[in-house]
């Protein structure tokens, strides 16, 4: 058994990444070779996207595709930045994505913890509902959800864009599964020390959920950031458009697509996502060093 003291030690040492320091292993060379070869396969389309966004329209879609641009042009980016009111669209996107991410991480961990570690009446029902909702294809509820949103007076508002997605079953399920993997002893010890149930959640469990919350944050941010159809339908005026909606304005026509514009837009859209990933990815690797337990 352990005491709360070790629990807080766990919190402090959580940032040390496993494998580093203690043993100093770098991992075998062949692992780097295999992972490195795989890495090449993973990044090629991304690099092609970036390189092609500076090609003139005729070259972008030449078949077979070219790798390095024969002519480098910033036309595609200029077309986007001069025609679109970027600050507005970026702000709308970021506000919606942050709200959705914060909501999912918060509400997901709360209910996820309850489902993983607490005994309460109705638990099976609630978990069943979460799974049930997870499995319903979004396309089927789209129209009724929009009619509902209209009647709540939320069309053409940012809340209309994020409220329906603030608590998604994905986050609850992810957090529940992660928290299930945490040792029960932590909670028992805190209870023995007289901590209240909610305090245990906020002071003991939350600090240990860094990896899962970072993961959920990355995945939710990406999903919300790239969401296209919902913000398009909810927005009634251009000043409420999100970035992906605005970027689609001129690249896809009635009959033809301007791929140069489309790829430049894709690069613009991806930058914040990569930034969020870079910022959060190190928390994914927070090991839980539970010295003293068992």
Partner 1 sequence: MRRSTTTAVRALALLAAASLALTGCGREADAGGDGPGQGEAISDGPATGTIDVWAMGTEGEMLGDFVKAFQEENPDAEVKVTAVPWEAAHDKLANAIAAGETPDVSLIGTTWMGEFAEAGGLEPTPEGLVDEGDFFEGAWNSTVVGGTSYGVPWYVETRVLYYRKDLAEKAGWSEAPQNWEELKQFATDLQKKAGLEYGINLQPGQTGSWQSMLPFAWSNGASVTNDDGTEYTIDSPEMTEALEYYKSFIDEGISGPTRILDPGELESGFAKSTFGAFISGPWHAGLVEDAGVSQDEYALAPLPGKDSAPGTSFVGGGDLAVFSDSDNKESAWKLVKWLAEPEVQQDFYNAVGDLPAVKESWESGKLADDPQLQVFGEQLENTMSPPAVPTWEQVAAEIDADIEKAVKGAMPVDEAVSHMQSQAESIGTGL
Partner 2 sequence: MSTRASRHVDPTRRQQAVAAWVLAVPFMALFLVFTAGPVLASLGMSFTDIRSADMRTPFAVSFVGLENYAKLLGDPLFQKVVVNTGLYVVLGVPLTMAMALAVAVGLNRITVLRGIFRVGYYLPVVTSIVAVSVVWKFLLREEGGLVNTMLAWVGIDGPAWLDSTTLALPSLVVMAAWRNLGTLMVIFLAGLQTIPEEVREAAEVDGAGAWQRFRHITLPMLRPTLLFGAVITGIGYLQFFEEAFVMTKGGPLDATRSVTFFTYDQFSFGNYGLAAAASYLLFLAVVALTVVQFKLFGEKD
Q: Does 156 bind partner 1 (CB under 8 A)?
A: yes
The secondary structure of residue 66, as a DSSP letter, is: P
Give the footprint of partner 2 on residues 209-228 (CB under 8 A). 211-212, 214-215, 218-219, 222
Q: Does 118 bind partner 2 (CB under 8 A)?
A: yes
Q: Does 126 bind partner 2 (CB under 8 A)?
A: yes
CA distance 63 to 163: 44
The secondary structure of residue 200, as a DSSP letter, is: I
**Choices 16-24, 51-59, 181-189, 211-219; region in contact with partner 1 by CB under 8 A:** 51-59
Q: What angle do CA 176, 180, 181 make, to 5 degrees?
A: 125
Q: Which residue has the tokens 């997870």?
A: 134
CA distance 102 to 158: 15
Q: Quick one: 61 or 95, whose CB is closer to partner 2?
A: 61
Among 238, 274, 278, 282, binds partner 1 (CB under 8 A): 238
Residue 45: contacted member of partner 1, partner 2, none (CB under 5 to 8 Å, by partner type): partner 2
Give the footprint of partner 1 on residues 66-105 (CB under 8 A). 83
Q: Is residue 3 within 8 Å of 186, Cβ to Cβ?
A: no
SS3 257: strand
Q: Does 70 bind partner 2 (CB under 8 A)?
A: no
- Per DSSP, the residues of 9-46 read HHHHHTTSPTTTTTT-----HHHHHHHHHHHHHHHHHH
Q: Which residues partner with 252 through β-bridges?
A: 257
Give the footprint of partner 2 on residues 29-68 (CB under 8 A). 31-32, 34-35, 38-39, 41-46, 48-49, 52, 61, 64-65
Give the footprint of partner 2 on residues 172-211 (CB under 8 A). 172-174, 176-178, 180-183, 191, 196-198, 201, 211
Residue 219: contacted member of partner 1, partner 2, none (CB under 5 to 8 Å, by partner type): partner 2
Q: Does 263 bind partner 2 (CB under 8 A)?
A: yes
Taking CA atoms, 111 is separated from 131, 198, 216, 262, in Å, by 13, 12, 14, 39
Question: What residue ranges bind partner 1 (CB under 8 A)?
Answer: 56-58, 60-63, 83, 142-144, 146-148, 150-151, 153, 155-156, 228-229, 232-233, 236-238, 245, 248-250, 252-257, 259
């Amino acid at each position: 058994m352990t005491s709360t003291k070790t629990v807080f030690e766990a919190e402090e040492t959580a940032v040390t990444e496993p494998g580093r320091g203690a043993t100093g292993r770098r991992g075998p060379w062949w692992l780097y070779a295999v992972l490195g070869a795989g890495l090449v396969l993973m990044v090629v389309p991304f690099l092609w996207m970036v390189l092609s966004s500076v090609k003139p329209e005729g070259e972008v879609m030449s078949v077979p595709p070219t790798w390095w641009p024969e002519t480098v042009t910033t036309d595609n980016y200029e077309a986007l930045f001069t025609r679109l009111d970027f600050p507005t669209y970026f702000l709308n996107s970021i506000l919606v994505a942050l709200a959705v991410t914060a909501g999912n991480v918060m509400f997901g961990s709360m209910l996820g913890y309850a489902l993983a570690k607490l005994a309460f009446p109705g638990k099976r029902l609630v978990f069943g509902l979460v799974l049930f909702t997870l499995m319903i294809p979004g396309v089927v509820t789209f129209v009724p959800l929009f009619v509902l949103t209209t009647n709540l007076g939320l069309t053409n508002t940012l809340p209309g864009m994020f409220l329906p997605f603030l608590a998604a079953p994905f986050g609850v399920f992810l957090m529940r599964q992660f928290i299930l993997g945490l040792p029960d002893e932590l909670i028992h010890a805190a209870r023995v020390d007289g901590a209240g149930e909610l305090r245990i959640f906020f002071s003991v469990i939350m600090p240990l959920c860094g990896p899962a919350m970072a993961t959920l944050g990355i995945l939710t941010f990406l999903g919300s950031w790239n969401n296209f159809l919902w913000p398009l339908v909810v927005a009634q005026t251009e000043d409420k458009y999100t970035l992906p909606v605005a970027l689609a304005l001129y690249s896809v026509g009635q009959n033809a697509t301007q791929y140069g514009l489309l790829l430049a837009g894709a690069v613009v859209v991806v930058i914040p996502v990569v930034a969020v990933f870079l910022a959060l990815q190190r928390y994914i690797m927070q090991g839980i060093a539970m010295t003293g337990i068992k």
